[in-house]
Amino acid sequence: MLIPCPFCGHRDQAEFAYGGPARALPELDGQDGTHAWRTALYSGYNPRGPVTELWFHANGCESWIQITRDTVTHRITRSCLANPREREP
Amino acid sequence: MTRLGRGGLIDRSSVLGFTFDDRPLTGHPGDTVASALLANGRCLVARSSKYHRPRGILSAGLEEPSALVTVTDATGSTPNLKVTEVPLRDGLKVNSQSAWTGLDRDAGTLLQLVSRALGAGFYYKTFIWPRNSWHRIAAPVIRRAAGRGRVDLSFDPSNYDKRRRHCDVLIVGGGAAGLSAAVTAGRAGATTILIEQDHVLGGALLSSRDNIDGLPAPDWVEEAETMLYALSNVTVMPRTLAFGHYDHGLVYAVETPHSDSVASAILWKIRARRILLAAGAIERPVVFPGNDRPGVMLAGAVRSYIRRFAVAPGKRAAVAVADPAERADTAAALNEAAIPVVAEILPGDRPSGTRGRLHLQGVRWRDATGRHHRTSCDLLCVSAGWTPTAHLFTHLGGRLEFSAETQSLLPSAETCGPLRPIGGARGVLIAADCVDDGKRGAHLAMAELGIHKSLKHGRSAPTPATKRGFESGRGSTFIDLQNDVTGADVALAQREGYRDVELIKRYTTLGMGTDQGKTSWTNCILEIASMTSRDPTEIGHATQRPPYSPVSIGALVGTETGSRMIPIRRTPFHRIFESLGCVFQTSGDWLYPRYFPQPGEDMAGAVERECAAVRSSLGCVDMSTLGKIDVQGRDASQFLSRLYCNDVETIKPGRLRYALMLREDGYVFDDGIVARLDENHYLVTATTANTSSVWRHMLKYAQVVWPDLDVALTQVTDHWSSLSIAGPNARNLLQALDPDFCCSRDEFPLAAVREGRLGGELPARVFSASYSGELSYEINTPSGFAETLFDRAVEAGAQWEICPYGLETLDVLRVEKGHIAPGTEIDGRRTPGDLGMAAMASTEKDFLGRTLLQRSALQAGGREQLVGLVPQDRKTPIPGGAHLSDQPVDRNGCAKTLGHLTATIKSPSLGHPIALAFLKDGIARSGDLLWAHSPVAGKSVRVQVTRNCAYDPKGTRLHV
Amino acid sequence: MFEPPPPLPATDASGFLPGPLGLRLDEEFLSLSAINGSRSALDAIFPVGNARINPDGWSLRVRPSAAWTSGDTPAGEFSSVEIGHGLTHLRLRGVEALHFLGQYTCVDLFAAPLRQVKTARTRLNQYDCTIWWTNTRDVHLLIARSLAQSFCDHLRILAVRNEPGDSFKHPRPSAPEAPNRRG
Contacts of A81 in chain C (CB under 8 A): 64
* pLDDT surpassing 80 at residue B360: yes
Residue B399 phi, psi dihedral angles, 5° rounding: -100, 150
Structural contact between residues B804 and B621, judged by C-beta atoms closer than 8 angstroms? yes
Q: Quote the CA–CA distance of C68 and C61 in Å, as a whole number.
A: 6
Class of domain C12-29+86-160: alpha beta
What's the predicted TM-score (pTM) here? 0.94
Asked if domains B288-383 and B627-715 share a fold, the reply is no
Torsion of CA B374, B380, B381, B385, to 10 degrees: 70
Fold of B473-538: Arc Repressor Mutant, subunit A (1.10.10)
Higher pLDDT, B791 or C174: B791
Mutation target to probe the A interface, by most A beta carbons within 10 A, among C122, C126, C132, C143 is C122
The vertex-B755 CA angle with B752 and B758, nearest 5°, equals 115
Nearest CA in chain B to C84: B719
Contacts of B845 in chain A (CB under 8 A): 30
CA within 13 Å, CB half, B451: 23
Q: Quote the CA–CA distance of C162 and C20 in Å, as a whole number.
A: 7
Q: How far apart are the first and last CA of chain B?
A: 95
For B208, the 3-state DSSP assignment is: coil
Q: Quote the CA–CA distance of B64 and B48 in Å, as a whole number.
A: 13
Q: State pLDDT tens for residues B876-918.
A: 999 999 999 999 999 888 999 999 999 999 999 999 999 999 9
Please state the domain extents for chain C: 12-29+86-160, 33-82
Quote the ipTM score.
Answer: 0.98
Partner-chain contact A85 B699, CB within 8 Å:
no
* pLDDT surpassing 50 at residue C182: no
State the DSSP string of B339-369: --EEEE--TT-EEEEEE-SSS--EEEEE-TT
Partner-chain contact B271 A2, CB within 8 Å:
yes
Nearest to B575 by CA among B796, B722, B724, B787: B787
Q: What is the pLDDT of residue C3?
A: 81
Structural contact between residues B323 and B469, judged by C-beta atoms closer than 8 angstroms? no
Residue B923 phi, psi dihedral angles, 5° rounding: -60, -45
**Distance from C4 to chain A by nearest Cα, in Å?**
32
Structural contact between residues B190 and C175, judged by C-beta atoms closer than 8 angstroms? no
* pLDDT surpassing 70 at residue C1: no
* pLDDT surpassing 60 at residue B13: yes
Q: Quote the CA–CA distance of B751 and B728 in Å, as a whole number.
A: 17
Partner-chain contact B703 A63, CB within 8 Å:
yes
Neighbours of B13 (CB within 10 A): 7
Verify cis geometry, omega within 30 degrees of 0, for the bond prior to B130: yes
Contacts of A63 in chain C (CB under 8 A): 63-64
3-state secondary structure chain C: CCCCCCCCCCCCCEEECCCCCCCEEEECCCCCEEEECCHHHHHHHCCCCCEEEECCEEEEEEECCEEEECCCCCCCCCEEEECHHHEEEEEEECCCHHHHHHCCECCCCCCHHHHHHCEEEEEECCEEEEEEEEECCEEEEEEEHHHHHHHHHHHHHHHCCCCCCCCCCCCCCCCCCCCCCCC
Mutation target to probe the C interface, by most C beta carbons within 10 A, among B570, B586, B635, B758 is B570
Q: What is the pLDDT of residue B117?
A: 65
How confident is the model over B372-385, as a mean pLDDT? 96
Partner-chain contact A64 B704, CB within 8 Å:
yes
Verify cis geometry, omega within 30 degrees of 0, for the bond prior to C113: no
Burial class (CB in 10 A: 0-12, 13-18, 19+), B500: middle
Q: What is the pLDDT of residue B466?
A: 87
Beta bridge partners of C53: C58
Q: What is the pLDDT of residue B388?
A: 96
Q: Which of B247, B696, B852 sits opposite A34 (nearest CB)?
A: B852
CB neighbour list of residue B416: distance below 8 Å, 6 or more residues apart:
B245, B393, B394, B396, B397, B398
Nearest CA in chain C to A58: C128
Instruction: Determine the residue type at B453.
Output: K
Out of 3.50.50.60, 3.40.50.2300, 3.30.300.30, 3.40.50.300, the CATH code matching B160-282+389-448 is 3.50.50.60
B–C CB contacts, 8 A cutoff, strictly below: 168
Partner-chain contact B785 C7, CB within 8 Å:
yes
Structural contact between residues C155 and C107, judged by C-beta atoms closer than 8 angstroms? no
Q: State pLDDT tens for residues B167-196.
A: 999 999 999 999 999 999 999 999 999 999
State the DSSP string of B550-597: ---HHHHHTT--GGGSSPPEE-TTHHHHHHTTPEEEEETTEEEEEE-P
* pLDDT-based confidence at residue B473 (cuts at 50, 70, 90): confident
Higher pLDDT, B148 or C143: C143
Provide, rounded to the nearest whole percent, the portion of chain A with pLDDT above 90: 81
* pLDDT surpassing 60 at residue A83: yes
* pLDDT surpassing 70 at residue B600: yes
State the DSSP string of B847-868: -TTHHHHTSHHHHSTT-EEEEE
Out of 3.60.15.10, 3.40.1280.10, 3.90.79.10, 3.30.1360.120, the CATH code matching B569-625+719-814 is 3.30.1360.120
Mutation target to probe the C interface, by most C beta carbons within 10 A, among A8, A63, A65, A79 is A8
Nearest CA in chain C to A4: C107
**Distance from C1 to chain A by nearest Cα, in Å?**
38
Interface of chain A against chain C, CB under 8 Å? 7-9, 11-12, 14-15, 58-63, 81, 83, 85-89
Report the mean per-residue pLDDT for chain C.
85
Q: Does domain B627-715 have CATH number 3.30.70.1400?
A: yes
What architecture is domain B1-151?
A: Roll (3.10)
Q: Does domain B859-954+956-960 have CATH number 2.60.40.2470?
A: no
How confident is the model over B330-344, as a mean pLDDT? 96
Beta bridge partners of B267: B162, B254
Nearest CA in chain B to C62: B714
Q: Quote the CA–CA distance of C13 and B347 in Å, as a whole number.
A: 71
Q: 3-state SS of chain B: helix, strand, coil percent to 5?
A: 25, 30, 45
The vertex-B694 CA angle with B692 and B698, nearest 5°, equals 120
3-state secondary structure C148-170: HHHHHHHHHHHHCCCCCCCCCCC
Please state the domain extents for chain B: 1-151, 160-282+389-448, 288-383, 473-538, 569-625+719-814, 627-715, 859-954+956-960
Structural contact between residues B300 and B361, judged by C-beta atoms closer than 8 angstroms? no
Q: Quote the CA–CA distance of C12 and B380 in Å, as a whole number.
A: 66
Structural contact between residues C168 and B235, judged by C-beta atoms closer than 8 angstroms? yes
Higher pLDDT, C76 or B678: B678
**Distance from A41 to chain C by nearest Cα, in Å?**
28
Q: Quote the CA–CA distance of B656 and B305 in Å, as a whole number.
A: 81
Torsion of CA B446, B449, B450, B456, to 10 degrees: 40
Partner-chain contact C86 B161, CB within 8 Å:
no
User: In chain A, what are the domains?
Assistant: 1-23+48-77 (3.30.2270.10)
- State the chains in contact with A (3 or more Cβ–Cβ pairs under 8 Å): B, C
Q: State pLDDT tens for residues B124-177.
A: 776 666 666 666 766 776 666 666 788 889 988 889 999 999 999 999 999 999
Q: Across the beta sheet with B372-376, what order do the strands follow?
A: B350-355, B362-366, B372-376
| Residue B814 Cα to chain centre, angstroms | 39
A79 — contact with chain B (CB < 8 Å)?
A: no
Structural contact between residues B323 and B345, judged by C-beta atoms closer than 8 angstroms? no
Q: What is the pLDDT of residue C178?
A: 43
* pLDDT surpassing 80 at residue C172: no
Q: What is the pLDDT of residue C165?
A: 59
Q: Quote the CA–CA distance of B344 and B536 in Å, as a whole number.
A: 28
Q: What is the pLDDT of residue B459?
A: 87
A–B CB contacts, 8 A cutoff, strictly below: 63
Mutation target to probe the C interface, by most C beta carbons within 10 A, among B714, B720, B738, B761 is B714
Nearest to C157 by CA among B258, B565, B88: B565
Neighbours of B543 (CB within 10 A): 11
Mutation target to probe the B interface, by most B beta carbons within 10 A, among C35, C128, C150, C153 is C150
Partner-chain contact B851 A26, CB within 8 Å:
yes
B586 — contact with chain C (CB < 8 Å)?
A: no
Q: What is the pLDDT of residue C183?
A: 30
* pLDDT surpassing 80 at residue C171: no
Structural contact between residues B747 and B738, judged by C-beta atoms closer than 8 angstroms? no
Nearest to C45 by CA among C81, C87, C78: C78
Range name among B131-135, B605-609, C140-144 with the lowest pLDDT average: B131-135
Contacts of A59 in chain C (CB under 8 A): 106, 121-123, 128
Instruction: Determine the residue type at B873.
Output: D
For B234, the 3-state DSSP assignment is: strand
Contacts of B271 in chain A (CB under 8 A): 2, 12
Contacts of B854 in chain A (CB under 8 A): 32, 34
Q: Which of A25, A30, A63 sits opposite B846 (nearest CB)?
A: A30
Q: Which of A7, A15, A87 sits opposite C123 (nearest CB)?
A: A15
* pLDDT surpassing 60 at residue C173: no
**Distance from A73 to chain B by nearest Cα, in Å?**
9
Q: What is the pLDDT of residue C50?
A: 66
Q: What is the pLDDT of residue C90?
A: 97
CB neighbour list of residue B533: distance below 8 Å, 6 or more residues apart:
none
Higher pLDDT, B232 or B594: B594
Q: Quote the CA–CA distance of C2 and B846 in Å, as a whole number.
A: 47
B189 — contact with chain C (CB < 8 Å)?
A: yes
Nearest CA in chain A to C117: A8
Structural contact between residues B472 and B364, judged by C-beta atoms closer than 8 angstroms? no
Contacts of B249 in chain A (CB under 8 A): 2
How confident is the model over A3-15, as a mean pLDDT? 95
Provide, rounded to the nearest whole percent, the portion of chain B with pLDDT above 70: 96
Torsion of CA B884, B886, B889, B890, to 10 degrees: -150
Stretch 50-109 of chain C: residues touching chain A, C-beta under 8 Å? 62-65, 106-107
